[in-house]
């Protein structure tokens, strides 16, 4: 065998080992996530709260208890989390929000939220429905131009 095939075989072996390791780590992470989701589901409760403010903050700036900050992994402390400051009964608390519903939480409104510990999993409007607060993106000039051309041609515009 020449040296090129030996090098290619070594690289192939390394890639196969890397894929197997990533597969095993992915399975472990998936099992851990399923366990955490089961714990969240077991301890959830519905609470009425007044949303005061919501921001994406670093963990140390969030106003969460020091015990929570100490328990989080070092890598997670540097990332920004969706934090909601809410008044629950007489207390004002900082809560971590699910990233999927962060944009739909209305500020300065009373809502019914499903809370598990300090984690908000879902929100429903107390008085009426909650509108999505995400602003609609404006179309570019080129997209408007294409829409006009399609209307002239009799085609339906792309949304």
pLDDT value at residue 126: 64
pLDDT value at residue 68: 84
Q: Is residue 108 a part of any domain in this protein?
A: yes
Q: Is residue 23 a part of any domain in this protein?
A: no
CATH of the domain at 115: 2.40.50
- Tell how many helices (H) and how many strands (E) occur in the chain: 4, 5
Q: Is residue 109 a part of any domain in this protein?
A: yes
Tokens of 40: 């969240």
Q: Is residue 84 a part of any domain in this protein?
A: yes
- Is residue 34 scored above 80 in pLDDT? yes
Cβ-contact 140, 130 below 8 angstroms: no
Cβ-contact 96, 118 below 8 angstroms: yes
| DSSP label of 63 | -
Split into its structural domains, the chain has a count of 1
Winning range, highest mean pLDDT, from 6-20, 46-60, 107-121: 6-20
Q: Is residue 146 a part of any domain in this protein?
A: no
The SS3 of residue 9 is helix
pTM, two decimal places: 0.62
Q: Is residue 3 a part of any domain in this protein?
A: no
pLDDT tens-digit readout, 102-156: 888 888 889 999 998 888 988 987 665 565 555 566 778 888 888 888 888 877 6
Q: Is residue 107 a part of any domain in this protein?
A: yes
Provide the domain limits for residue 58. 44-125
pLDDT tens-digit readout, 57-105: 888 888 888 888 888 888 888 888 899 999 998 999 999 998 889 888 8
- Per the listing, tokens 């995400």 go with 134
pLDDT value at residue 132: 57
Q: What is the helix (H) or strand (E) element at residue 80, kind and residue range?
A: strand 80-88
Q: Is residue 106 a part of any domain in this protein?
A: yes
What confidence category does residue 37 fall into, taking pLDDT thresholds of 50, 70 and 90?
Answer: confident
């Amino acid at each position: 065998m020449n040296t090129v095939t030996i090098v290619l075989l070594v690289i192939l072996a390394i890639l196969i080992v890397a894929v197997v390791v990533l597969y095993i780590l992915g399975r472990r992470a998936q099992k851990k996530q399923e366990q955490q989701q089961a714990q969240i589901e077991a301890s959830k409760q519905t609470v009425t709260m007044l949303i005061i403010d919501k921001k994406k903050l670093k963990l140390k700036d969030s106003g969460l208890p020091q015990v929570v900050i100490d328990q989080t992994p070092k890598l997670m402390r540097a990332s920004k989390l969706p934090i909601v400051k809410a008044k629950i009964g007489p207390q004002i608390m900082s809560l971590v929000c699910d990233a999927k519903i962060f944009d739909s939480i209305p500020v300065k409104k009373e809502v019914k939220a499903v809370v598990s510990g300090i984690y908000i999993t879902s929100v429903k409007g107390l008085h009426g429905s909650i509108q999505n607060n995400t602003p609609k993106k404006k179309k570019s000039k080129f997209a408007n131009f294409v829409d006009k051309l399609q209307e002239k041609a009799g085609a339906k515009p792309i949304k």
